[in-house]
Amino acid sequence: MSPTGTLRAVVSQPAREPASTAGRRLWPGVADAAALLGFAVAAFLIYRPLWMDLERGYLSSSVQDQNMWEWFFAVTAHSVANLENPLSSTLQNFPLGVNLMSNTVMLGVGVPLTPVTLAFGPTVTWALALTGGLAGTAAAWYWVLSRHIVRTRIGSAVGGAFCAFAPPIISHANAHPNFVVLFVLPLIVLWLLKLARGERPVRNGVILGLLLAYQVFLGEEPLLIAATTLLVFAGVYALSRPEETLERARPLGIGLGVAAGVALVLVAFPLWWQFSGPQSYSTLEHGFVGNDAAAFTTFATESVAANAEAAKDLSLNRTEENAFFGWPLVILMVVVTVWLWRVAAARAVAVAMFAMAWLSMGVLLVVDGTATSIPGPWLLLFDRPLFDSVLESRFALGCVPAIGILLAMGTERALRLGGNVPEWRLTWRVVWFGALVLALVPIAPTELRVGERDVAPAFFTGGLWRDHIEQGGSLVVAPLPDTGDAEALHWQVEAGFGFALVEGYFVGPGTDGRGRYGALRRPTSELLEEADESGTVPQITAEDRAAAAEDLRYWRADAVVVRAHAGADPVRRTVELLLGRAGQVIGGVHLWDLRPPPTPS
């Protein structure tokens, strides 16, 4: 009896039919559970060293960003708990404060996780956001792919995993949760597909508007990159299927109009605050930092086949390896593009992928450090609103979901090839999955490196600061916190935000209204920075002392502290010369209490 005849005979037996049907129904559920569990385990393993030492663990490649993000999460929880405005704070950069909406504060994470932050501290929130971001993004893409784009759970798992664990995402996973918590973006894609299919444009438009508004509070930059990628995809698909596009234009237009209205109602005031509120800025320039073409074929630092030195030479830093897909995957994507070219959707996705890669290369193509005269499309966008504040190299992140979708579609095609000939089916599957192994295993992520942060001085953790800082006053930590050293933000969190800090790590306006990292430096902060960086005590003049007195009045400073260790001696000595007296050692710091002495009773 033939295999088909045998199958028919088995199915025709009443006693076995329910079991067979149940088996077919059980498989998708088992596959879903296995995929979700796999995503969660992978995300945990990447951050395992951090989870194993939440007390002192610090992501090594984050430089000062972990301090900054923990401060963001902590200040959000503080604002919610005290019913304060979460869009702004004077706890940093006192007395001017910080426009938190103009910074990547991620209220969409910080607000709902406020109970976690208050109960367990911002480091737990930081670890939870990063780990959950990776797992949640993979799960969301898996769900969208498996239910709405392809009919294979295996392909969906491959595509979903790539969208969350691709080398550029893992690079940002060291320091930038706004480029890790991306689970809303696949849902935005899904609801756009629903609108394009004409499904309940008003209802789905409302849902899309809610998703867009939420993404604004998770990260505007990823939303801009995603929107640019989708516009390229939509344009290419419209040219491929003009009649179909015209038929879908009306319901899509209605849905987009509804979505825009809903989103605008929810984000209008926060966006006004961001661009026109206190301490807002017009644009944040980074210079021209496009991807070198060689970066696309190089292996990232946090990957199995890592080439750390090559990656260092081809990227801005360890957290900006935005294009390191490795040469095997680049070759595979070229092959898949040719293989699926006749499929309109796949063709549009592939063109969007290559377009975003080209856009990320900047104004001129650079190949292995050598600039060419070939211009890129970034030349048309670099000075446009919104685009003028984005690192162009990050637009390569738009390639990530495109690659994930193409991997899922390619897997579906490979599983169907060969028809009813088992030998051919097996051959195609061996070839395809062998190619996946060769392309994806070398770029599989490794666990992120974690070091130990220094213990905060007892002056902060033991509450000793309460005897020296009054309500409405501020603390000057010398050298003053900035992008190079933001440890004081951690000390302030440990002290429960009992005082305001002078200067800090944030983005705020410069003298020209454009954005800059850190505060506008005053003469005293520049002098202390000079002492710290040079390791020598600068020559102090009467003018320096007068400027220090003026700066301390401007800052409304109640006290100045310098951490008590040998490396801080030049800074300590500089403060002594500026204030004309030695400080007292208390709780691991040198302290200068600037308050006037109490009046005798």
Tell me: do 422 and 463 sit in the same domain: no
Q: Is residue 75 part of a domain?
A: yes
Tell me: do 232 and 370 sit in the same domain: yes
DSSP one-letter string for 545-578 = HHHHHHHHHHHTEEEEEEE-SGGGHHHHHHHHHH
Q: Is residue 13 part of a domain?
A: no
DSSP one-letter string for 347-409 = HHHHHHHHHHHHHTT-SEEEETTEEEEEE-GGGGTTTSTTGGGS-GGGGGGGHHHHHHHHHHH
* DSSP-assigned beta bridge partners for residue 475: 501, 559
From CA 407, how far away is CA 417, in angstroms rounded? 15
What is the per-residue pLDDT for 25? 59
- Residue 519 has φ and ψ, to the nearest 5°, of -80, 160
From CA 262, how far away is CA 345, in angstroms rounded? 29
Buried b (16+ CB within 10 A) or exposed e, 409-421: bbbbbbbeeeeee
Tell me: do 518 and 415 sit in the same domain: no
Q: Which of 381, 413, 440 is the last residue of a domain?
A: 440
* pLDDT per 10-residue tile (average), the chain, 601 residues: 31 36 63 96 98 96 97 98 97 97 97 98 98 98 96 96 98 98 98 94 97 98 98 96 90 96 98 97 90 96 92 92 97 98 96 98 94 93 92 97 98 86 84 97 97 96 95 93 96 96 97 94 96 95 97 97 91 97 96 85 56
What is the per-residue pLDDT for 570? 95
- Residue 365 has φ and ψ, to the nearest 5°, of -70, 130
Q: Is residue 97 part of a domain?
A: yes
**Residue-range definition of the domain harbouring residue 494:** 458-593
Q: Is residue 447 part of a domain?
A: no
Provide the token pair at 456.
């905060």
**Closest residue by Cα to residue 184 from 152, 144, 148:** 144
User: Taking the mean position of all CA atoms in its chain, how far away is CA 36?
Assistant: 21
What is the per-residue pLDDT for 536? 95
Q: Which of 440, 468, 496 is the last residue of a domain?
A: 440
Q: Is residue 21 part of a domain?
A: no
Tell me: do 535 and 411 sit in the same domain: no
Q: Is residue 25 part of a domain?
A: no
3-state secondary structure 249-279: HHHHHHHHHHHHHHHHHHHHHHHHHHHHCCC
What is the per-residue pLDDT for 600? 65
What is the per-residue pLDDT for 26? 64
SS3 content of the chain, % helix, strand, coil (to 5): 60, 10, 30
* DSSP-assigned beta bridge partners for residue 517: 507
Report the residue count for the chain: 601
Residue with the two structure tokens 């799960």: 139
Tell me: do 479 and 427 sit in the same domain: no
**Closest residue by Cα to residue 171 from 308, 66, 50, 319:** 319
Contacts of 579 (CB under 8 A, 6+ apart): 548, 560, 592
- Overall number of domains in the chain: 2
Provide the token pair at 549.
């007195």
Tell me: do 467 and 436 sit in the same domain: no
Q: Is residue 228 part of a domain?
A: yes
Contacts of 519 (CB under 8 A, 6+ apart): 93, 96, 480, 482, 502, 503, 504, 506, 508, 525
What is the three-class DSSP state of 415? helix
Q: Is residue 38 part of a domain?
A: no
Tell me: do 198 and 264 sit in the same domain: yes
Tell me: do 406 and 495 sit in the same domain: no
Global confidence as pTM? 0.93
What is the three-class DSSP state of 450? strand
Tell me: do 472 and 428 sit in the same domain: no
Tell me: do 142 and 260 sit in the same domain: yes
Tell me: do 405 and 535 sit in the same domain: no
Contacts of 455 (CB under 8 A, 6+ apart): 56
Tell me: do 236 and 165 sit in the same domain: yes
